[in-house]
Chains A and B, each alone.
Chain A
Amino acid sequence: MTEKKSPKIVMDSNGIERCLTRIAYEILEKNKGMDNLVLVGIRTGGIYLAERLQKKISAIEGREIPLGILDITLYRDDIAKSKKKAPLGKTNIPFDLTEKKVILVDDVLFTGRTIRAAMDALIDFGRPKMIQLAVLIDRGHRELPIRADYVGKNLPSSLWEAVSVNFLEKSGRDEVVIEEET
């Protein structure tokens, strides 16, 4: 048995801030402004990121971009296998998605299964013109044919490592941490 390595901080609050600023500009550049653009954050990490992207995009464009919250628990593909249930959070998408360009926001892109569930959920809300994906970290190991349109940082990782994003709102500080799975 090798000794367990201590958690390593791979991105600090300044790093996260710069990534989000860049992604905000990239979103506006790719979509030529914010017409018909909406943000949807995936519970829970994606909400914090989506809120910050909302502030940045709204500040750049001078008007508010709509923001929705999505809980994907009910769309998971492993829900029937486990008696244990993730606490079900509220979904709140207070606008029609039909013909909208949806920027789906999550913290870490890993197997792609969460994103598959999120896309199924979004389509139940209407027929978006387009769905794009923005993530802070892409750690690889995809199990489905899914890729992100906007990536904060590509972080090659091993399957036995855990990548977590801590947020000021929840943990008291912003940082991306990589550690060996316990």
Chain B
Amino acid sequence: MTRFVVSRLAQMLVVLFAVSVLTFLIFNVIPAGDPAARMAGKSPTPTQVEAIRAEWGFDEPLPVQYVKTMEQVLGGSAISYFTQLNVREEIVKGLPRTLSLAVGAAILWMTMGIALGLLGALRAGRISDRLITFVALAGVSLPVFWLGALMAYYLGFKAGWFPNGGYVPFTEDPLDWAYHLVLPCTALAILFIGFYSRVLRSSVLDTMSEDFVRTARAKGLSERQVLVRHVLRNSLIPIVTLWGLDFGAVVAGGAILTETVFDLQGVGQYAAESVGQLDVPPVLAVTLFGAFFIVVLNTVVDIVYAALDPRIRVTT
């Protein structure tokens, strides 16, 4: 087990390094033109551009530039050239908001996805199954920024049932915190509900034809016990794996559209607003933060899996 953990952590470091190199390339090498001018955003002054060139070392060889860029971003000294605010502080400020959204949405999409997927599998081929399939496909087809904007306007602003945006910290008023999160979490969860219910449906159908399910039936378990104890337990494995990836992606900037539409001021919205001003340091920092977060989370999921299932340790 120790060997597995060590090799997995070593792999993680390699991927993290590659991710940072790729991010560096995206922002500094691939685009044409003067990188200092690009870093400075939409309408920089010449002195600003000169200062950036010296600060990020754009006149030096590429490896030196890479090191300087990483120092700026990871060391927390990068500042937005548009708002002059420290990038790391802004990300730390946005993180609890993004986490609230991601946790709320994840609870919603897991419960609904599992319920609909199970129902679809049990009624496979019948009208209700086809209906669930269609609803799931519709959910996957809805662009979250459009759906969210309409929800915020019609259910929030016009009907007044929910706040049409904004965020209240949990420590200030837990009830109001939850109330503000209802619409954004629902909007974000709809895509995943469609997707997870489909995956669970086919996974349940696969498990049902396994030998151990027949054995469970043969030894006289009730249909309900077979379903909960044997079928569902095994069918949940792919869902849990996906959940690790998706939750990571949502926290790491995948909720950029939902946050923007509902004005949650999370990490994603911070990136989105910086994009609008073509302000590179914040986008660079959020991209790096997001990718790092996903890589670390995936490693943790892998290690937990290996602890639970010894077979994995041998094969990888």
User: Do A and B truly interact?
Assistant: no
